[in-house]
């Protein structure tokens, strides 16, 4: 079975058809830049470009970088235009895609669902947290394989500000930090997350997970097992498609069966 997945990020909008049996994209993904400012029309047009590139005419799963309610209403918009708040994103994207059925979920939740089913969290029980380090820091929390949606741990306070302002990969680039300097910030953040939630496993996702060999050895003092994501930048696309394949992706989304 194939469903189309689109991952909307602070810097790019990417998508591809997803083979739900394999948990992988079935064609090379296509990406366009996220417009700045990331307004409703601009982002919707970007999504349309990605979907139309493949001539897709079936259900579409979309991620969004913010809190998404069960009725696809956006409640937060840290890295996109604030006009998204209160918008029925499902209705907007469906209209822009010519009436195609659309499911909208939080971006990190989608990545977490994919990693728990097909990637680094497969078969793992207990408390598992996925953290995506990119333009911001996204989070997905699982208890014995069941998703607790819209956690937004990137907005926990670190050094007097949102953690993502100091420890995201964007923060690394903007401050010109070395891997060790940045990892020290990440370690402080993970220590705080561990103190609050005592996870058994922390999965580090986002594009930077491909460079885990450059900074994981600096993340000492964390009791939880820390592993890199396996689906990397395809996790959001795969997870979005997985959510779109369900009749209700927000109720007890267990990835263990």
For the stretch 206-240, pLDDT in tens is: 889 999 999 999 999 999 999 999 998 899 999 99
The predicted-structure confidence for 92-148, as pLDDT tens digits, reads as follows 999 999 999 999 999 999 999 999 999 999 999 999 999 999 989 999 999 999 999
> How much is the pLDDT for 256?
44
Burial (CB < 10 A; 0-12, 13-18, 19+), residue 124, is: buried
The predicted-structure confidence for 139-189, as pLDDT tens digits, reads as follows 999 999 999 999 999 999 988 999 999 999 999 999 999 999 999 999 999
> How much is the pLDDT for 250?
43
Evaluated on CA atoms 13, 27, 55, 69, the torsion sign reads negative
Evaluated on CA atoms 212, 218, 222, 225, the torsion sign reads positive
> How much is the pLDDT for 232?
87
The predicted-structure confidence for 50-94, as pLDDT tens digits, reads as follows 999 999 999 999 999 999 998 899 999 988 999 999 999 999 999
Burial (CB < 10 A; 0-12, 13-18, 19+), residue 217, is: exposed
Task: Return the number of other C-beta atoms located less than 10 Å from residue 1's C-beta.
Answer: 8
pTM tops 0.95, yes or no: no
What distance in Å separates the CA atoms of residue 84 and residue 88, rounded to the nearest whole number?
9
Q: State phi, psi for 191 to the nearest 5 degrees.
A: -60, -40
> How much is the pLDDT for 7?
97
């Amino acid at each position: 079975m194939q469903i189309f997945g689109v991952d909307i990020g602070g810097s790019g909008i990417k998508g591809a058809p997803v083979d739900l049996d394999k948990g992988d994209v079935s064609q090379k993904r296509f990406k366009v830049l996220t417009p700045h400012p990331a307004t409703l029309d601009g982002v919707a047009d970007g999504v349309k470009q990605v979907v139309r590139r493949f001539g897709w005419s079936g259900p579409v799963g979309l991620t969004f970088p913010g809190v998404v309610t069960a009725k696809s209403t956006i409640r937060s918009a840290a890295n996109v235009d604030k006009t998204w708040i209160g918008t029925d994103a499902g209705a907007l994207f469906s209209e822009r895609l010519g009436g195609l059925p659309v499911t909208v979920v939080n971006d990190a939740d989608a990545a977490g669902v994919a990693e728990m089913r097909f990637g680094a969290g497969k078969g793992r029980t207990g408390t598992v947290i996925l953290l995506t380090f990119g333009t911001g820091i996204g989070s997905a929390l699982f208890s014995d394989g069941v998703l607790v949606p819209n956690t937004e741990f990137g907005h926990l306070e670190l050094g007097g500000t949102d953690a993502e302002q100091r420890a995201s990969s964007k923060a690394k680039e903007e401050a010109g930090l070395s891997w060790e300097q940045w990892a020290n910030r990440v370690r402080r953040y993970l220590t705080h997350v561990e103190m609050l939630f005592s996870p058994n496993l922390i999965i580090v996702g986002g594009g930077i997970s491909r460079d885990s060999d450059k900074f994981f050895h600096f993340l000492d003092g964390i009791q939880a097992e820390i592993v890199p994501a396996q689906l990397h930048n395809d996790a959001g696309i795969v997870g979005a498609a997985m959510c779109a394949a369900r009749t209700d992706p927000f109720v007890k989304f267990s990835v263990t069966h």
